[in-house]
Amino acid sequence: MKKQKPRYYLISLSTLFFLLPAGVSHARTVSGAPLDLALIDGGFAVTYKEKTVLRHTSADPAFEAGWGEPAFTMKHGSFTIKERNLRITPLRRHAIMGKERGRIAVRFDDAVTVEFRDAEGTLEIAFIGDRKKLNRLRMRLRCGRGEAVYGCGEQFSRLNLRGERVPIWCGEQGIGRGRDLITILADIGYGAGGDAFSTYFAQPTFVSSGRWFFHADTTAYCEFDFTRKDSFELYFWELPERCVIGVDDNMPGVLRQLSGLMGRQPALPSWAYDGVWLGVQGGRDVVAKKLAGAQKAGVPVAAVWAQDWEGRRVTSFGKQLMWNWRYDETLYPDLPGYIRELNAKGIRFLGYINPFLALEKELYREASEKGYLVRRADGSEYHVTITTFPAAVLDLTNPEARRWIKNVIRDNMIGIGLSGWMSDFGEYMPVDASLHSGEPAELYHNRYPVDWSRTNMEAVREAGRAGDIAFFSRAGYTGTSRYAPLIWAGDQLVNWSKDDGLPTVITAGISAGFCGIGMHHSDIGGYTTVGWIKRGRELFMRWAEHSAFTAVMRTHEGNRPEANWQFNSDAATLSHFARMGRVHVALKPYIRDAAREYAETGLPLMRHPFVHYENDPGLHSIMYEYLFGRDLLVAPVIKKGKTSWRVYLPRDEWVHLWSGTSYTGGWVTVGAELGKPPVFYRRDSPHAALFESIKGI
């Protein structure tokens, strides 16, 4: 490995702004606005935009640094993470090295220099130190006792993270994710039970209700501790490349700054909103039959999504796919011709791809011969077991490997007429791998899903199809929002569980919205069928109701289609699904306006109500309601057997979508029979007439 020079690491002062408690006296100020440093007894405090963000004294140091050794184990994409031989020391002694307008440098214990910079409206903090001696950093930021915290990527089981310790690491979401029997059995059988904070899409980013955000530019493992009453403790397994704090007068302004820093998602094509994306599989004849049945029942179909376009693999886990990225001529004879037939009827065809290669097939042999695969330290190929079978992993640090897979996408997918695909996986990168770039796999692991989305988007752009092709990604990290037009919530259980079922896709969409993701959706009905857990009729219908009020409405048959209730399992379900599809299509003008708002301001389509109602502290206890755009409040029914539902409304003029009854805020109970999910619109919305018209659908 090449010798590395010490590097600067930047942390935005916006994050640190609540560090100084009220009542601390300033001896004197030694810099200019908006960045100031005030000397206090035995230390200093840093303020940014008149917000005190950091306080340091020898008795209460703001930073610790040291060295530790990682201990990772991975099974089926789930990680157990520990550390050994940790030696970390509080940095107590300090010397102010530089004091000029917009820049302050402080040296700690002759080991680490911390430089604070005003950088175009945000606060950056850089760390200079010897990386050979220091690979651990702990930072303490003062906060207000009443602040709520959101983000840290896509969180499924928790929304307000105050009081929690959150690991920042991409991995399998896990099965069950609680303390119940299914989680225990998943752990015993697969080592893939998951927990409250296991997630495909992690990100070292959070937003505080105190109107500020924090982001760390690091790919190392992190732990964010929000359990303390008056400080946030952030722990990094390296000196971060950059930390940024943004402060604003209101939450929309905070999200504008944050999403500008992260990068906003490319726009979805107009056709994406023209109907449901019908997830069907089984070959050309089966797909055609299911599509015809859906259309006869009045289901508006924008696209057929056939994940088995490249072939099928049947395992003990269910019907899975043959990861060889060219169409299966047995299941889909003359697929290009069939796609042309669909396109002539105004229907798109979508497929599937991931960064693995099936060991039985020709694309694997080609990639292996050319050296495009991730290897072990001994030089042998690193084959990863996914569920019950091994697969090779593309080495995306190799420019030639990226060029090769982009050509595969261009020729074998775009070239035969695909208008999009599921861009699956990305979180399985082993931390003990040997990479083409020579960089440590431990530090590349979290960046792998970003490079996977980037590779897909580059293939689309190089084919000249940007703005017309839509792919949707599961795994992600900082930067994914720059490349993936659409995120989906991954593989939930096909049940009502608040740890791994329907409720979790609501928290996932809201939390991702605090990290720069504006376009989010989920598999209608969930994906994972294991043991006794099978998708029922009511669950499918309630999930479809929720999905009608998301960016995209897409079904999935699941890993065991025959065991699950499907959109066409009976006439009542098919009729309900068709109606919710028509509701979704009717909302197209509103959804497109919300998508433009996201592109311009960074406000996500699924957003927590407190973003617009900041003075209502009761909203921070709400997990399963969201604003869909500015003017719709959606409170999906997430319990079985309910015909009414209790909803919390922020203070405003709200109209119940189905009855027309008006409300002004607080807790209300409304009818919620199947087909009429609790949805409200703002009376003074410019789209009020559109919303009113939906009642007749």
Catalytic residue among 195, 491, 523, 545: 491
Pair 34, 101: CB distance under 8 Å? no
Enter the tokens of residue 163: 């009081």
CA distance 612 to 598: 15
Enter the tokens of residue 627: 């604003």
Residue 696's identity, in one-letter code, is G
CA distance 348 to 346: 7
Cα Rg of the chain, angstroms: 25
Residue 654 DSSP SS3: strand
Q: Kindly tell me the sign of the dihedral angle through the C-alpha atoms of 591, 594, 599, 605.
A: negative
Q: Is 491 a catalytic residue?
A: yes
Helix residue spans in 105-204 (DSSP H) = 181-190
CA distance 516 to 523: 21
CA distance 34 to 118: 7
**Strands 202-208 and 149-153, bridge-based pairing:** antiparallel
Q: Cβ contacts of residue 341 below 8 Å, gap of 6+?
A: none
Q: Which whole-number Å values give the CA distances from 10 to 43, 224, 242, 423, in the listed order?
A: 21, 18, 3, 32
Pair 131, 475: CB distance under 8 Å? no
Catalytic residue among 310, 427, 451, 557: 427
Phi, psi of 513 (to 5 degrees): -65, -20
Owner of token pair 């930021």? 141
Q: Which whole-number Å values give the CA distances from 566 to 321, 361, 561, 636, in the listed order?
A: 19, 32, 8, 20
Q: Is 597 a catalytic residue?
A: no
Q: Cβ contacts of residue 245 below 8 Å, gap of 6+?
A: 11, 12, 13, 14, 15, 16, 17, 48, 53, 122, 123, 125, 212, 213, 214
Closest CA relative to residue 445, chosen from 354, 367, 374 = 374
CA distance 607 to 632: 10
Q: Which whole-number Å values give the CA distances from 590 to 227, 628, 676, 686, 689, in the listed order?
A: 39, 10, 19, 10, 11
CA distance 516 to 431: 26
516: DSSP letter: T
Residue 21 DSSP SS3: coil
One-character DSSP codes across 315-371: ETTEEEE---SS--TTTSTTHHHHHHHHHHTT-EEEEEE-SEEETTSHHHHHHHHHT
User: For residue 552, is it left (φ>0), alpha (ψ between -120 and 50) or beta?
Assistant: beta
Maximum pairwise Cα distance, the chain:
79
Q: Is 424 a catalytic residue?
A: yes
Pair 218, 238: CB distance under 8 Å? yes
The rounded Cα 189 to chain-centroid distance in angstroms is 27
Catalytic residue among 64, 172, 424, 523: 424
> How many degrees, rounded to 5, is the angle at CA 486 between CA 168 and CA 195?
30
Active site residues: 424, 427, 491
